[in-house]
Amino acid sequence: MQAISHPPTSGVAAVDRALCVLSALANGNGSLSLKEIANNTGLHKSTILRLIASLIHAHAVAQQPDGRYVLGPAVARFHAAYMRSFSLSHWTVAALHELVRTTGESAAFYVRQGEFRLCLHRIASPHAVRDSIETGDLLPLDRGAAGRVLQAYMHTGDPALGEQIRNEQVLLLAGDRSPELAGIAAPVFGPLEDVLGAITLIVPLQRVQRSWIAPVRESARALSRQLGGQFPLAGSPNTDESTAAPLSSFDPD
């Protein structure tokens, strides 16, 4: 398990430390012992015990019969209130607008719909020559960058390509669904580390640029954080120039 840095104490130190304990429990595999919390927070056991006593009183932490600690029922209430406080659509559409502003190309958000992928949101490029995809369109899962990304986290489709996507957490693919289009897609994660969908840049082949790989991946990471999720650790180091091997010829200038 990845260690959690000791929190800064620019605010109230006790609150910072309590939040550090809650973060350790949230990142744990179901439950943690006192020793495991100490290892993952850098806090002394005596400090943790004092913090946990307050957190248990607030129902933010619970102690199991075996002595291990878990998040308490108050966290579920906080999560429900958080989910009511914002619209998934609001954050997603804002992210798409930012990608269009940055690149000048169309951006879309796809979710799995049975054996297909649904274009849940789409912001059009200002260029006259652009893709014809519209919000509400159903497209195949096994074609296009977004479909391949969704397949990768379902562990279906091409196993080698799926592993590469999970390692690099982004995919640039040309001519897979349409010979005139390229796509750059990255997964968006929810609070339970589940894939909510794929954010995608849809570009005419003659205009696609490898430099857009980084903003698409960063957009997916930022949207994941806004929706309460986070990117899992990649299986291999990420680099801005890395792409999954295209399934059709692509050699942009």
pLDDT in tens, 152-200: 999 999 999 999 999 999 999 998 888 899 999 999 998 777 899 999 9
Q: What pTM was estimated for this model as a whole?
A: 0.64
User: 84-93, 111-120, 219-228 — which is least confidently predicted?
Assistant: 84-93
Q: Please tell me the class of the 13-83 domain.
A: mainly alpha
What is the CATH code of the structural domain delimited by 88-226?
3.30.450.40
> Using 50, 70 and 90 to split pLDDT, how confident is the model at 214?
very high
Which segments of the chain belong to CATH 1.10.10.10? 13-83
Which segments of the chain belong to CATH 3.30.450.40? 88-226
Whether 229 contacts 191, CB under 8 Å: yes
The reported pLDDT for the residue numbered 248 is 34
Mean of the pLDDT values across residues 222-250? 57
